[in-house]
A and B are shown apart, each in its own frame.
Chain A
Amino acid sequence: VGALVAVGLVSALSLSACGGSSSSSSGKPVVTIGFQGPLSGDNAQLGINGKNGVQTAITEANKKGNLPFTLKLQTSDDQGTPDQGPTAAQRLIDDKSVVAVIGPMFSGATKASEPLFSAANLLSVSPSATNPTLTTLGFTTFYRDIPPDNVQGQGAADYLAKALKAKTVFSLDDKSDYGTGLSSVLEAQLKTDGVTVTHDGINPTKDYTSEADKILAAKPAAVYYSGYYAEFALLAKALKGKGFSGVLMSGDGSNDDKYIQQASADVANGTYLTCPCGDANTDPKAADFLAAYKADNGGVTPGTYSPEAFDAANAVISVLQGLGSSPSRSQVANAFKSVNYQGITKQLKFTPTGEVEAKVVYIYQVKDGKRGVLGTTADLIK
């Protein structure tokens, strides 16, 4: 990181000295990849996971030295909220050296930011915004290398109905774009599978006591929470404290080790988590990535969305490679339409609306205070 800061400083100095034509200390011009996600706030861990993934891709690409330019990372913190999204996006748009953005990470922030990116013709590839509607809103430069919630919601519902054989499910969402998108697909598929569903929504809060009473009164075999880990941890504590013994399940927003820390291992054990994302720590295909990530991020292991962010950044870099030493935003956006890159999580190849073609959902479970992959839904239901 220190070296990068130095490169950044040098490029900033030379930028002011040469009046526009930026170049790094090695004589190559600098090309910047932006990153937008929550780097502060309650759900910052997910943003940090993504940022570190992008950083790893950039550091590795620079190390290889076969690019006609030096890559640099510029982060912009949107706290994961829709109201901070446009401001964070505008910061990246105003930085003329940014030719592509990885992010935004959260669906609400993405929905609010994409109109700006489309207007600026700036490519943005989200590693984690999974709200199904995002690819139907006419954004011209938006892609995501993660399947949307309807894929995750269907997978989760099928797993609850067919593998766990739950007859009644309480579906709770956090009323965010992400939460409601996930819960509505989940509930529709559960009903198709013949499961009785109770729906409720509650804005993020700290006190889930009365919600827990309500859930217990409905006596569900399983609870599925569509929201993020900070709240899911508190909900799990409230439910387990009241003796809830059914299945506890949540989606990719809760699929992080912070969930276990904040709920405590005692409470978290047994929890199922669904995610379209793979697990870099146990997947043999990601071994090289795991080593590089740890080396580039001070020994920290990858978290949720780190591999997807890494893949998204690499797909962008693969496109940049063919565009010479000073690619323009429109060149990058155009070339990305036909990208076909084999990442560590999946093949990155997109439909015209920006949806990744590969559709995979993994089931995780917490055991002895640790998250582990059980397998893909398709394999587990068989």
Chain B
Amino acid sequence: MPVGFAAQFWQLTVDGTKIGALYAVIALGYTLVYGVLQLINFAHSEVFMFGAMGGVLTVRAVQPQTTASGFGSVLLVLVGLVCGALAGAVAAFVLERTAYRPLRRRNAPKLAYLISAIGASLFGANLAGKLFGRQNIPLNADLFRDHTLFHIFNASVTLQTVVILVTAVAMLVVLDRLVAGTKLGASIRAVAQDADTASLMGVNVERIIVFTFVIGGLLAGAGGFLYALTFNASWNMGFIPGVKAFTAAVLGGIGNVRGAVIGGLGLGLIESYGGFLFSAAYKDVIAFLVLVLVLLIRPSGLLGERLGRAA
């Protein structure tokens, strides 16, 4: 074991939780859509990217050049989150309309959806490259002075970590309540369980599908903005977190909302520890190795596939 693992353990845990929370937020988009349509929406990574772009570009446009502080910081983060979420929702809505709905109308085979998803993903990324340039786009200046707020054991927890965790947890709780306790949530679960029967019971299936995409887009868009706080926004930023979030969804049991959360956090932690123990370069390898191992033992993921029943 490399020197310092014990000393760094809590720091790695904090960092892993931070990135894991973001994976969880993005993973929900995959899981919700899969739950409802049994479709892997591979273009979800571009929904995430457009969300990040929407948030970052809006904040860049409204923010003064200097580092904001106090009320200004809070306001700017909120503006970024809201615009990111809206941009993500619009991207998801357009995606559903253009890439999937025409196929559904024609009763296309499953493979066609997959090809359409990959095509939409490539198109989206390159469209963003064309529109926003193929460079990393940072926020003008830091939205807030990132500093250590408090320590957990010996790990420093920074303001940014707190912002990301608080926002992510808030979104996850709201979504959980939405799916479990509202009429819309009940309709989503009904469509996930049996779309035909739900439709006979008066559920507007097409509308629910659109809602599902939009909810996933809102989450991914806000997640994209949070991700861009640390990693900047760029036209090709979606791919890696997209694949990771998909992995998180599969790890937890695709279609299962709480599974996505557990999968996301688990993946973040595994990456964080693994990156330190072996090499940061092998972080992705370790994450996927764990995925393979989990699937060998539990093919349907940690919590199983079941948006329809629980959640």
* Interface of A toward B, CB cutoff 8 Å: 40-42, 44-45, 175, 200-203, 205-211, 213-214, 216-218, 230, 233-234, 237-238, 240-243, 258, 261-267
Query: Are B4 and A40 neighbours in the complex by a CB distance under 8 Å?
Result: no
Name the residue on B nearest A175 (C-beta): B281
Complex-state Cα separation, A364 to B3, whole angstroms:
34
Q: Can you list 24 A-B pairs with a CB-CB distance of less than 8 A?
A: A42-B135, A200-B279, A202-B279, A205-B283, A206-B231, A206-B232, A207-B19, A207-B283, A209-B272, A209-B275, A210-B15, A213-B15, A213-B276, A216-B8, A217-B8, A217-B276, A234-B232, A238-B230, A242-B11, A242-B156, A242-B158, A243-B148, A266-B141, A266-B142
* A58–chain B nearest beta-carbon distance, Å: 26
Report the bound CA distance from A243 to B147 in whole Å. 8
Given the complex of chains A and B, what is the CA–CA distance between A299 and B160 in angstroms? 38
CA–CA, A267 and B147, complex, Å: 12
**CB <8 Å contact, A241 and B160:** yes
A136–B220 alpha-carbon span in the complex (Å)? 50
Task: Note all chain A residues with C-beta closer than 8 A to B145.
Answer: 266
**Residue of B whose beta carbon sits closest to that of A258:** B135
Interface residues of B in 253-287 (CB under 8 A from A): 271-272, 275-276, 279-281, 283
Contact residues in A for B135 (Cβ distance below 8 Å): 42, 44-45, 230, 258
Structural contact, A210 and B138, CB atoms closer than 8 A: no
Nearest Cβ on chain A to B17's Cβ, whole angstroms: 11
Given A41-B134, A203-B281, A261-B138, decide whether A210 and B276 contact each other with a Cβ distance below 8 A.
yes
**Residues on the B chain within 8 Å of A209, using CB:** 15, 18-19, 230, 272, 275
Residues from chain B with Cβ under 8 Å of A208 in the complex = 280
* Chain A positions within 8 Å of B77 at CB level: none
Question: Given A209-B15, A216-B11, 10 other A-B contacts at CB below 8 A?
Answer: A175-B281, A206-B232, A207-B19, A210-B272, A211-B280, A213-B275, A214-B275, A234-B231, A243-B148, A262-B138
Q: Please tell me if the beta carbons of A217 and B4 are within 8 angstroms of each other in the complex.
A: yes
Check A233/B281 contact, CB under 8 A, given A206-B237, A264-B142, A266-B141.
Answer: no
Considering the complex, give the chain B residue whose CB is closest to the CB of A206.
B231
Question: Which A residues touch B2, using CB under 8 A?
Answer: 217
Which residues on the A side are within 8 Å of B98 (C-beta)? Answer: none
Task: Check: B136 CB closer than 8 A to any chain A CB.
Answer: yes
Does B215 lie at the interface of the complex (its beta carbon under 8 Å from any beta carbon of A)? no
CB <8 Å contact, B156 and A213: no
Known: A206-B231, A233-B232. A217 touches B3 (CB 8 A): yes
Does chain A have a CB within 8 A of B187?
no
- Whether the pair A243, B11 counts as a contact (CB closer than 8 A) is no
Can you list the 4 inter-chain pairs with the closest CB atoms, starting with the nearest? A210-B275, A217-B4, A211-B280, A206-B231
B293 interfacial contact with A, CB 8 Å: no
Residues on the A chain within 8 Å of B67, using CB: 266
Interface string of B135-164 (1 = CB under 8 A from A): 110110110011010000000101010000
- Using Cβ atoms and an 8 Å threshold, which residues of chain A touch B19? 207, 209
Contact digits for B175-195, partner A, Cβ 8 Å, 1 yes 0 no: 000000000000000000000
Residues in A neighbouring B158, C-beta threshold 8 A: 241-242
Q: Could you tell me if B280 and A202 are in contact, using CB atoms closer than 8 angstroms?
A: yes
With A and B bound together, what is the CA distance between A211 and B3 in angstroms? 14
Residue of A42, A203, A218 with most chain B CB atoms under a 10 A cut-off: A42
A-facing mask of B1-13, CB < 8 A → 1, else 0? 0111001100110
Judge whether B115 is part of the interface by a CB distance below 8 angstroms: no
Bound CA span A209–B237, Å: 16
B240 interface residue (CB < 8 Å to A): yes
A233 to B141, CA, bound (A): 13
- Tell me whether A264 and B138 are in contact in the complex, defined as CB-CB below 8 angstroms, given that A206-B240, A209-B15 are known contacts: yes
| CB atoms of B280 and A200 under 8 A apart | yes
* A200, closest chain B residue (CB): B279
Identity of the chain B residue whose Cβ is nearest the Cβ of A203 in the assembled complex: B281
| B247 within 8 Å of A (CB atoms) | no
Which residues of A lie under 8 Å from residue B275 when comparing CB positions?
209-211, 213-214
B234 proximal to A (CB < 8 A): yes
Contact of B280 among A214, A243, A262, A267 (CB under 8 A): A214
Contacts of B232 in A (CB 8 A): 206, 233-234, 262
